Amino acid sequence: METTSLWTSGRPDGHAPTGVMGDHTHHKGDWMFSYRYMYMRMDGMRDGNDDISASEIYPKGYMVSPVEMDMKMHMLGAMHAVSDKVTLMTMINYLENDMLLQAMNGNQFNTKSSGFGDLKVSAIYQLLNKDRQELHAIVGVSVPTGNIEEKDATPMSAPSEILLPYPMQLGSGTVDAILGLTYLGEADVFSWGNQVKADLRFGKNTNEYRYGNMYTLNNWFAVKTTPWLSFSARVEGKIVDDITGINPGLNPMMVTTADVNNSGGQFINGALGFNTYVPSGTFKDIRLGFEFSYPLYQHLEGVQLAHKESLTVGLQYAF
Ligand SMILES: [Cu+2]
């Protein structure tokens, strides 16, 4: 029974929880367009594993402490299968960053940045599809289309604008490699997947630094409750290396985010979500996914804003 022994994407959990990228391939000639909206919140300062207050930041020699940060991402993606084995994928993000900061004298102010991020182009190569299991490799490149010269005015700089620190920039400024391996399995009611991925960066950007490599391990499990609905649980481990080099345009004593010693960390995030899928009719192959993620563990290098919840809503259409 060849057809039943293959892994299939034709079910709600045939795509991974919407926070996972590059989780599936398509059949030769198929296209898919997607829009994802992701909201991430960071709140309160943290030193390693411990929450600390802004008043503990200033004695470390910094003039300003972050208080809170909101990141909104609009992710536009396209996939096209050139063969049953090879699916090409491209993605561009539009980012909106908003950080609330507090100066030593207690005055609070916001800085903002927004615009397109880096362009990612990948090929997904299917290595195996049998016994309702699938394995594919991802090889991609991140093209530095995102601005790394974002500026805004602060009470200290007003009316002129100054260069914003590392976390407020929109791109990496370097050509980065993306490597990954995804394993998928399914049974009649359940499905599961694992994905290991590395974002590797080389050299330095035009501002004399590069962001750290990022390594992620995703593990998820889904229950198909009806032909159009599934629920998922996911655990993500993430290692973010620290920044190499120093942007000479930033004063590291001005604010903690301008100091490369406060970069990098290790995270374990837990996520719950659902996927819907239209199996037939006029709206066949439209998918809507939702996922809520929360850090279960976070160790931040130096002093950084603590990660809080993130929400992802994704809409996909294949034809
Ligand atoms: Cu797709």
Query: Which CATH number covers residue 6?
Result: 2.40.128.130
- Which domain does 173 fall in, by range? 2-318
Percent of the chain with pLDDT over 90: 93
Average pLDDT over residues 195-202: 98
Start-end of H helices in the chain? 2-5
Band the pLDDT of 3: cuts 50, 70, 90.
low
Ligand 1 centroid from CA 251, angstroms: 43
Ligand 1 centroid from CA 237, angstroms: 23
Band the pLDDT of 156: cuts 50, 70, 90.
confident
CA gap 174, 167 in Å, rounded: 15
Ligand 1 centroid from CA 137, angstroms: 15
The pLDDT value recorded for residue 279 is 87
For the purposes of burial, counting CB atoms within 10 Å of the CB of 195, is it exposed (0-12), middle (13-18) or buried (19 or more)?
buried
- The yes-or-no verdict on residue 2 having pLDDT over 50 is no
Ligand 1 centroid from CA 57, angstroms: 45
Phi first, then psi: give them for residue 29, nearest 5 degrees: 90, -15
CA gap 13, 30 in Å, rounded: 19
CA gap 200, 132 in Å, rounded: 31
**Ion ligand 1 residues within 5 Å by Cβ:** 32, 79
Ligand 1 centroid from CA 81, angstroms: 9
Band the pLDDT of 4: cuts 50, 70, 90.
low
Average pLDDT over residues 247-254: 96
Mean pLDDT of the chain: 96
CA gap 222, 69 in Å, rounded: 31
The pLDDT value recorded for residue 1 is 43
Instruction: List, for residues 6-58, the tens digit of each pLDDT value.
Output: 999 999 999 999 999 999 999 999 999 999 999 999 999 999 999 999 889 99
Number of domains in the chain: 1
Q: Which residue has the higher pLDDT, 157 or 266?
A: 266
Instruction: List, for residues 40-50, the tens digit of each pLDDT value.
Output: 999 999 999 99
The pLDDT value recorded for residue 168 is 98
